[in-house]
Chains A and B, each alone.
Chain A
Amino acid sequence: MSEGTKRPFSVREIREEFPALRQLIYNKNLIYFDNGATSQKPKIVLDAINMYYSKDNANIHRGVHFMSQKATTEYEASRITIQKYINAKKSEEIIFTKGTTDGINLVAYSFGELLSAGDEIIITAMEHHSNIVPWQMLCQRKGLKLRVVPINKKGELIMSEYDNMLNSKTKLVAVTHISNTLGTINPVKEMGAKAHAVGAKILVDGAQSIQHMSIDVKDMDCDFFVFSGHKVFGPTGIGVLYGKEAILDSMPPYQGGGDMISKVTFERTTYNELPFKFEAGTPHIAGGICLGKAFEFLSSLDMVAIQKYEKELAEYAQDMLDTFEGCRIIGEAKNKTSVVSFVMEGIHPFDIGTLLDKQGIAVRTGHHCTQPLMDFFGIPGTVRASFAFYNTREEVDKFIEAVEKSINMLK
């Protein structure tokens, strides 16, 4: 974790820094409970975006001139901020991507090139489509076998099944740190240790964890960790793939182009070193710089206090929902956070979502890009409220009132 003094957590103060939270939707104060889909942005990020395009805009890594050098310095400084935040050994292990999906596809393609027919990849029953489809494509391409760790009715991985699945053919385990639909926190450190015991690597999908808890990739001892900038208070179109240096070094490039080469002739091209080997073309410079600002912002916060606050908020919402007749909470893992998914007997999630919207409340309804999970629970979708540290108990109270009103209208 990065050093420096943390300010005491105050939700009132934090809300001040997120201008998007102060707006009227259909003449009601916005209640934003769709943080699982994307987060709002703090002023420090918004100002940095404005500053970059109004003053500092230049291409990086190639210019002799002042602006290019300044942009390059800031872009690379951001890489170091992120490296320190997640406690990676070296900044070369931080690859900028377009987001979680892009990071997973990079690994599926490039690490996948090292695999051969008969090898096995393990995912879980609660993965986002982003952490299913790239592996299916790789398995088809290379003749690999995809195995899926099942879950129990509470929405927890059945670890004995995972243990049984691991064998000498297992080459990679790809698992979500926190389920975007259920809120389940998976034991990724334990899963990694077990994967390593059979010689396999582990990729952790951190799309839903980086914004809710402190992340230490060294302690977790994962081989890959991926996340999206837009879910962690940064811009869209930028994300990070962390990978252990030795493994990234052994992997072939993903895309070819400028920046990723060291020397090009028509006969032969040699590739650049990490991290540039995996960053072909002009990157999302503004995104990279401003994602660094988001992490500067996060570094000033007390993540332990925040994790506790968010957990209490979610538990409060869940307890209140539970009092409604016919309400079924989807995802009741012992270890869960920040997400409450539910269905109401006889009422379509879409109807509840539509009525909540008209009351100024943003939630997500549907399958949340986890269709196999919906099939497992035998439902078409859920209503999902997902929280961030800027949400309040009063908002939860208003949400519960609005749910009640909606149910009464729909019954």
Chain B
Amino acid sequence: MTIEEKQQEIIDEFNIYDDWMEKYEYIIELGKDLPIIDPDKLTDDRLIEGCQSRVWLDAEVKDGKMQFSADSDAIITKGIIGLLIRVMNDETPETVAKTDLHFIKDIGLQEHLSPTRANGLASMVKKMKMAAIQATINK
């Protein structure tokens, strides 16, 4: 599946919900289901301090593909992280660096990615892209 197809898949999944609370119910389930980072990776150097919720991000390159894992102390943030990782993982650094994550806007969650939102997600996306750019330089 291409990164664009992955984004489209998520948009389709969210299209069946017409109520905000249902959307969030789904995001919360995603957040609960996901053990997205090794507990021993919850270290301060991986911590992105948002004003409200905190986010930890780890980025690796395996076989030429980006592998992200992340966590948050807030479950909604964690659910959205799950979506971001689903889209960005197993993609080449070049793809990650240049992809426009339009699905967030399309499913109505752009408020969570605004730089003033202070939940650490905007910084996390930036860090994901920076890690990808670093990986292309290191090649």
Nearest B residue to A355, CB-CB: B24
Give the Cβ gap from A151 to chain B, nearest Cβ, in Å. 23
B positions within 8 Å CB-CB of A: 20-21, 24-25, 28, 51-54, 73-77, 118-119
Contact: A355 with B52, CB < 8 Å? Answer: no
Contact: B24 with A350, CB < 8 Å? Answer: no
Contact: A381 with B52, CB < 8 Å? Answer: yes
- With A365-B52, A366-B52, A409-B28 already in contact, the answer to whether A350 and B21 are too (CB < 8 A) is no
From the candidates A351, A358, A359, A409, name the one contacting B74 in the complex (CB within 8 A): A351
- With A349-B52, A366-B52 already in contact, the answer to whether A358 and B24 are too (CB < 8 A) is yes
- In the complex, A354 has a CB within 8 A of chain B: yes
Q: List 11 A-B contacts (CB under 8 A).
A: A350-B53, A350-B77, A350-B119, A351-B76, A351-B77, A354-B24, A358-B20, A366-B51, A380-B73, A381-B52, A409-B25
A positions within 8 Å CB-CB of B: 26, 347-351, 354-355, 358-359, 365-367, 380-381, 405, 409-410
Give the Cβ gap from B133 to chain A, nearest Cβ, in Å. 29
Residues of B within 8 A of A351 (CB): 28, 74-77
- With A366-B52, A381-B52 already in contact, the answer to whether A350 and B74 are too (CB < 8 A) is yes
Residues of A within 8 A of B77 (CB): 348, 350-351
Contact: A348 with B73, CB < 8 Å? Answer: yes
Give the Cβ gap from A390 to chain B, nearest Cβ, in Å. 25
Residues of B within 8 A of A405 (CB): 21
A358-B24, A365-B52, A381-B52 known; 8 other A-B pairs, CB under 8 Å? A347-B75, A348-B77, A350-B119, A354-B24, A359-B21, A367-B51, A380-B54, A410-B28
Residues of B within 8 A of A354 (CB): 24, 76
Contact: A348 with B24, CB < 8 Å? Answer: no
Give the Cβ gap from A227 to chain B, nearest Cβ, in Å. 25
Nearest A residue to B74, CB-CB: A348
Contact: A355 with B21, CB < 8 Å? Answer: yes
- Across the A-B interface, give the 4 residue pairs with the lowest CB-CB distance, nearest first: A348-B74, A358-B20, A350-B74, A350-B52
Residues of A within 8 A of B119 (CB): 350
Residues of B within 8 A of A347 (CB): 75
Contact: B51 with A26, CB < 8 Å? Answer: no
